[in-house]
Structure 1
């Protein structure tokens, strides 16, 4: 398996990045950022279907009052808002860690929502011939507001009140921002009109389960090694002269990355087209300061250069090790990735790439808008599907190891890194959400702790060339 030096960088961006062009970025763009434990789960108080409701607020009315506003006054949590009757919810498992909930709302609940909507319209309506606050007969009020408008408002009120109750069976598993009501509003209107009850289907992505191959202890037996160059190749061409050709046989090792080449006997023919030489000045203490400012002797230059090279080599080796570990564990897990999770991760990566392009090329507003378009993003998601999928598998696997091994990091480390990140945001005059920054830093520290644990428990073989 190849130890590569590529850095896996995942910048954590707000979900609204594509539409708002506002990018929330951790302070140091040169730091590897891992997103391991950030599956945000549904909470009963989340108003998850607000976009669904807003599509039906355009109906006309003699006065300004929307169904969303009328129903929001009763949009309280499950614990506070007890329904007058039980819902019937049927759960069906779907592909890609998705669950379908078929919700049947009994007439008693629908009637209660209807009364609340009428009461809300009664408060806001200014019906000619009736003083403000004066009770308006229901039929007169409905005639003024419009029976269809009252019905739409009632259906939306029912959805607001019942969704969190319907989601009880997937609480703790449902991914935030993945809940969508898929039943057409016209179908709900028809059911409500004819039966006085309501039925609707909800699709929700749930936290995917991770299956380790061959068992849950697979990551504890992880072994990695690597080499980028076929062993013996460099040794075979050392000393070759310009115009000279060499032919030599080599055998690809059994652990070679490309499976179809493992154990293959190959004959290489190499021709040296050109050799380059450097005309260097005489190496003495007189040029020491020019080589490295502050040095007075060549020996000092050699010592400092050696130290720097060792530091670079160590850093590269550690990064290559981390990348090799992450690559290997992604191959050891099976995960049904929800579409919402895939799109979120893909948009974050796309946002990071776009930010890098913008920093290098200074894109104008038109160019930025074009690159931020849904078409551009979807093309990226399609072309990078394999890479995005592998990164998600890495993140989930690492998060699972963090929990299994009961790993922890020091609280003071979290506080310090959050302070540093916030200070960097302020220095660059960037907007930030301190709670979000804290979550991101925590994810990074958890990921670093897992990699540290794996390096201590993984059998690693370094190949020196």
Structure 2
């Protein structure tokens, strides 16, 4: 085998590979003889079919199969011999005739060499959040609202009421698709409708009709309505007020908490502290990752992007479950996933480069601490500890998180870090992990 390397710019290079005619022709002949021993062809007894007949009938297919086996072996060895860190390959056969050398080119897409720099340009706002009695009381009030009973009332609509309404929406005087509904239930102050809609219902009475004016947000899910002014004709059909349950033994039992009111408050406060820690970590980490992607230039290999696109497609089909039963992976166009895939691959390459260059390791103390933090959420913490420690995949995930946390801390030491006061509930809501 002869190999020459044709360097290209960036993350590409081409290997020109030439195989002697015998390297392929001998393997083709061997397979033809093997097939001839068992082939069944009209006019010939089994095992007595001449090799020439097999060659004429199946020769092209056999040669194709031989190349499919031989070429990957050859270019893999060539890539190893040239010490190339390949992310993907594309093959082009330039000569393929019996009795002649087999020539082919291998376009090798390399993993990029990443220069970790400009970390001092990364800006991170660390959340500063007050978590005291006021926040605990609000959380418990929210829990009470979840278990509230609703009773019809004969008065004006107030905040926190649940109303049943009919509405018709218009933009520029024209009714728009999705802007009308009958018997729609809306909890006033919940934020389930666009800004201004729920506020416009406050003060209305049963059977009252009213037209309110609102403006769609600039980032509204329907881009055609972004930033547009709209009018909604609203009719209130029913008004219900919530009756909140008392914080008693029966109420506490519904949350699986053992003990009385003091234990309930303590448990809620502890859970909130755990949620806050996780939310602060998620927001900080998200800013670090976004900063790294902006600060560090990376030429992303197309082969890796394609793999990530395929992974995203499979993940979507899995999440769709029965709803996507008729949908196949080939039905999903790549461009729907390309931007997210590029973003993900770029970040992965950067994180991998930093971890390798800084030699971050998952030390046992950090692993144990993270396992303990995870287990503390569950009633049978010891069972969870043992499950994680005895599950190879779970343990690898823990180690990856430990290294990722160390990497984030290292970047923060060099980044521009400021503090920003935030509300507990908004922070937790806005940093909820995506499904």
The TM-score with structure 1 as length reference comes to 0.50
Aligned to 2:6: 91
5+ long unaligned stretches in structure 1: 1-85, 229-241, 243-269, 418-436
Offset from partner CA, 1:32-83 (integer Å, 9 cap, x none): xxxxxxxxxxxxxxxxxxxxxxxxxxxxxxxxxxxxxxxxxxxxxxxxxxxx
Offset from partner CA, 1:151-199 (integer Å, 9 cap, x none): 66456546644543344453354547x334233xxx644xx25x72222
* Distance (Å, rounded) in 1 between the aligned partners of 2:268 and 2:5: 69
2:408 to 444, 448, 454: 454
Aligned to 1:101: 15
1:405 to 319, 337, 358: 358
Aligned to 1:289: 249
Aligned to 2:101: 197
Aligned to 1:351: 314
Aligned to 2:91: 181
**CA positional deviation for 1:313:** 1.6
Q: Secondary structure at the match of 2:124?
A: strand
Q: Secondary structure at the match of 1:182?
A: strand
Aligned to 1:393: 346
Aligned to 1:145: 54
Aligned to 2:421: 464
Matches within 5 A, 1:20-35: none
Q: Is 1:113 aligned to 2:66, yes or no?
A: no
Q: CA separation of 1:205/1:142 partners in 2, compared to 1, >3 Å: closer, same or farther?
A: same
Kindly name which structure, 1 or 2, has the bigger radius of gyration based on alpha carbons: 2
Task: Between the two structures, name the one with larger relative contact order (CA 8 Å, sep ≥ 6).
Answer: 1
Aligned to 1:250: none
* Distance (Å, rounded) in 1 between the aligned partners of 2:405 and 2:329: 36
1:164 to 73, 85, 108: 73
Aligned to 1:44: none
> Which structure is higher in strand share?
2
The TM-score with structure 2 as length reference comes to 0.53
Q: CA separation of 1:458/1:122 partners in 2, compared to 1, >3 Å: closer, same or farther?
A: same
Q: CA separation of 1:91/1:411 partners in 2, compared to 1, >3 Å: closer, same or farther?
A: farther
Offset from partner CA, 1:105-131 (integer Å, 9 cap, x none): 3xxx21353234324433442499999
* Distance (Å, rounded) in 2 between the aligned partners of 1:411 and 1:110: 56
Aligned to 1:206: 110
Q: Secondary structure at the match of 2:111?
A: coil
Tell me, yes or no, if the aligned pair for 2:14 and 2:106 is still in contact at 8 Å. yes
Aligned CA-pair RMSD: 4.5
**CA positional deviation for 1:297:** 5.8
The number of residue pairs the alignment matches comes to 288
Tell me, yes or no, if the aligned pair for 2:245 and 2:251 is still in contact at 8 Å. no
Q: Secondary structure at the match of 1:408?
A: coil
Q: Secondary structure at the match of 1:103?
A: strand
* Distance (Å, rounded) in 2 between the aligned partners of 1:154 and 1:324: 54
**CA positional deviation for 1:464:** 1.4
* Distance (Å, rounded) in 1 between the aligned partners of 2:392 and 2:262: 47
Aligned to 1:373: 329
Tell me, yes or no, if the aligned pair for 2:17 and 2:104 is still in contact at 8 Å. yes
